[in-house]
Structure 1
Amino acid sequence: MPLKLPHETAMGREDFLRGPSNAAALDMIDLWPDWPSLWLLLAGPVGAGKSHLARIWAAKSNARVITLEELNRSDPTALVDCGAVVLEDADGWERDDVALFHLLNAAREARAYVLITARNWPDGWGVALPDLMSRLRLTTPLEIYEPDDELLRSVLVKLFADRQLDPDPSVIEYIVLRMERSIAAALRVVEAVDREALARRRTITRPFVASVMKELDEGLL
């Protein structure tokens, strides 16, 4: 039985793979501190690279990265005292609208930068506090999209490399042509291939990958 050893995903600026789907978002992160406004809202699907971009900006701006849980139980003034804050997954069910409203008010008073990530735009969050919606409309909207085939190839190579794996290019091409068009799907495929290769003591070949992807599609993995 293979051990579930952790692997570390490279999250630096040099590790982010640029493509048509994310170029505008990456350019805006690189543009800081010359943003159109102090607050930026980055929306996009799961696994598209929002968290990676947020970590790039946090390293650049020395921002504090917080979750909704931390937001809900923390003093908003203390959260913005470093001058920059990342709030991840702001459209999550555990969001406290009042807490987010107070965070943005504290950021406005402190002239602090705020980067918010979410899967969709605030109109779809179910925000019940009109004053919060008015604050969210002050953010600069930025969208990141699903990747094209060229970017997916690069992402797959990177994901395998994060696990110290180097499959043949024909394996990468096979996956790209048959997988769902998303980075989240790439993550699932690479994780399953790595896990099953260890468990079955198999090398990562096209026939092996084909069998793993078939089992994924059938819900067997």
Structure 2
Amino acid sequence: MAKSVTHHQQLTLSVSLRDDARFANFYDGPNAQVVQSLQQQWTVNGEPYLYLWGSAGVGCSHLLQAACHYAEGLGHQSVYLPLDELAQYSPEVLDGLDQLPLVALDNLQAVAGRSDWEEALFHLFNRIRDRQSHLLIAADAAPTRVGVALPDLSSRLSWGMVYQVEPLEQNDLVQAVLLRAHRRGLNVSEEVARFLVTRGPQDTQGLFDVLERLDQASLCAQRRLTIPFIKETLDW
């Protein structure tokens, strides 16, 4: 039986944005149009509904949270809900969200195929449209392949702009590592960044996790981030 969600729990879940999940920390590479469309949501000709999809680690969650930060910076209240964390609860967690200017729902695949959640999402979609609010959805597959069974909801998922968030090629991954290191105040050379990309995970989130671990290790050891230090720390 699904757990019910109190109003207090709903508020707690709605403020779980990562502070570093901002557009300034996202190396867009082949995804520049996605970032532009997210930022243009608030212009006269902006698209109020966007659907993002991509494999794990490409940055869909980062982009949804960045869009929420961006909206808040413009004075628009927003809510970010990771559906994979909420799947154990009743879909009543969605109640009243249409009153907010921006609703961002992450990991749609976690509740796809569940009739109670699909019904609730369908009605939320309609209420958001009627209020002329904004909606962002992210998943690991395109709208037609995400596993939604309710035909009316499935059709609505393709109403707005649909973007595949593309994984970065190796050279772009190097630039993404350099950008993230700079934002963290780390002095990382291009040679070191390329070594990390060559030997480390091949997705941005995995590389950023490695970079965070190295940042902490270098602080503790009071050593610079060099290739020998990385080999020693990560046993590469």
TM score, norm. by length of structure 1 = 0.76
Unaligned runs of 5+ in 2: 1-17
SS in 2 for 1:17: coil
Q: Is the 8 A contact 1:12 1:55 kept in 2?
A: yes
Unaligned runs of 5+ in 1: 1-7, 216-221
Is 1:10 aligned to 2:24, yes or no? Answer: no
User: Any residues of structure 2 matched to 1:196-207 within 5 Å, and which?
Assistant: 196-197=217-218, 202-207=223-228
Residue 15 of structure 1 aligns to which amino acid in structure 2? N
Per-residue deviation, 1:123? 3.2
Paired-residue identity, %: 26
Q: Which residue of 2 aligns with 1:66?
A: 80
**Alignment partner for residue 170 of structure 1, among 191, 194, 198?**
191
Residue 146 of structure 1 aligns to which amino acid in structure 2? P
Q: Is the 8 A contact 2:101 2:134 kept in 1?
A: yes
User: Any residues of structure 2 matched to 1:73-88 within 5 Å, and which?
Assistant: 73-74=92-93, 76=95, 78-88=96-106
Is 1:29 aligned to 2:43, yes or no? Answer: no
**Alignment partner for residue 55 of structure 2, among 26, 45, 50?**
45
Per-residue deviation, 1:202? 4.9
Per-residue deviation, 1:55? 3.2
Is 1:183 aligned to 2:216, yes or no? Answer: no
Residue 50 of structure 1 aligns to which amino acid in structure 2? C
Per-residue deviation, 1:206? 0.6
Per-residue deviation, 1:41? 0.2
When residues 9 and 166 of structure 1 are mapped into structure 2, their CA distance, relative to the original with a 3 A threshold, is: farther
**Alignment partner for residue 113 of structure 1, among 127, 134, 141?**
134
When residues 148 and 207 of structure 1 are mapped into structure 2, their CA distance, relative to the original with a 3 A threshold, is: same
Q: Which residue of 2 aligns with 1:3?
A: none
How many equivalent residue pairs? Answer: 205
Residue 53 of structure 2 aligns to which amino acid in structure 1? A
Is 1:124 aligned to 2:136, yes or no? Answer: no
Q: Over residues 155-177 of structure 1, what are the superposed CA-to-partner deviations in whole Å (9 max), with x where a residue is unaligned?
A: 21233345442233321121123
When residues 161 and 130 of structure 1 are mapped into structure 2, their CA distance, relative to the original with a 3 A threshold, is: same
Select the structure with the greater relative contact order (CA < 8 A; seq sep ≥ 6): 1
Q: Is the 8 A contact 2:49 2:160 kept in 1?
A: yes
CA–CA distance in structure 1, aligned partners of residues 67 and 19 of structure 2:
17
- Which range moved further: 61-70 or 100-109? 61-70
Per-residue deviation, 1:142? 1.0
CA–CA distance in structure 1, aligned partners of residues 158 and 22 of structure 2:
30
Residue 226 of structure 2 aligns to which amino acid in structure 1? T
Is 1:54 aligned to 2:68, yes or no? Answer: no
